[in-house]
Amino acid sequence: MEQYFCGTKHALNGRKRAVQPPKPRRNYMTIRRLDIKALLAAGAVATLLLAAPAAQATLIGDTVNCATTGPDHWVCNQASAVVGSGSEFKLSSLGTEVFNVDIGASSIRIDYTGSGDLGTGANERLILSDLDWVGMAGSIIGIANFATANTLRMEASDVAFSAHGVDIDFNSASFSPGAFLSFDLVTRHQVPEPASAVLVGLGMMALAIRRRRATD
């Protein structure tokens, strides 16, 4: 038995022809939104992975060296110390302790502890060296947030720095009771391999999405 529909011959052979459902149309707007959400989520994870190591980098737990230049009476109380809570070094002049040196996670503060005014002489400098970050390798590239109180002739330009040390020049400065100086260390840290791999993965994800759009 043969029947014709719209000019086309169909052999029924006693069976009903299966009706194929229409092919669903892709909702490209939904696909784009999903792609964007996926990229944003991956980007947020990558940002956290990149920021976390730098935030964890610290001088706490590092062994730092202390040295002075100038008159023999201008000395550190010890040659080295492990950075922790409280002051790491004390500076003495003529056998009397006059400064506490407190090294933080990424900062340095020096407090004058004398009861009267103090004037420092030429070439009296404090040198802190072997500053190495625990948790992530890094180097000093500058200082920031320099602050003083009850001091004269102490400025940010009196602080020199290298990749792993600072040199503070006390030349002809004066200090009154309660005086201090402090500053933050501006550092640069190496991006670890896991974070680099995340960035490569993001690039590959973006490329895959572009290819999928091109084939749809």
- Residue 179 burial (CB < 10 Å; 0-12/13-18/19+)? buried
Cα–Cα distance, 139 to 164 (Å, whole number): 6
> Any bridge partners for residue 101, and if so which?
89, 110
Q: Which residue do the tokens 């005086």 mark?
A: 179
Q: Using the 8-state DSSP alphabet, how is residue 106 labeled?
A: S
User: Strand 8-11 vs strand 2-5: parallel, antiparallel, or unpaired?
Assistant: antiparallel
Residue-wise pLDDT tens for the chain (216 aa)?
A: 444 444 444 444 555 555 566 655 555 555 455 555 555 555 554 444 444 445 578 999 999 999 999 888 899 999 999 999 999 999 998 889 999 999 999 999 999 999 999 999 888 999 999 999 998 989 999 999 999 999 999 999 999 999 999 999 999 999 999 999 999 999 998 766 555 555 555 666 666 566 666 665
Please give the Cα distance from 108 to 184 (Å, whole number): 6
- Report domain extents, the chain: 24-56+192-215, 63-189
**Prediction pTM value:** 0.66
Residue 211, classed as helix, strand or coil, is: helix
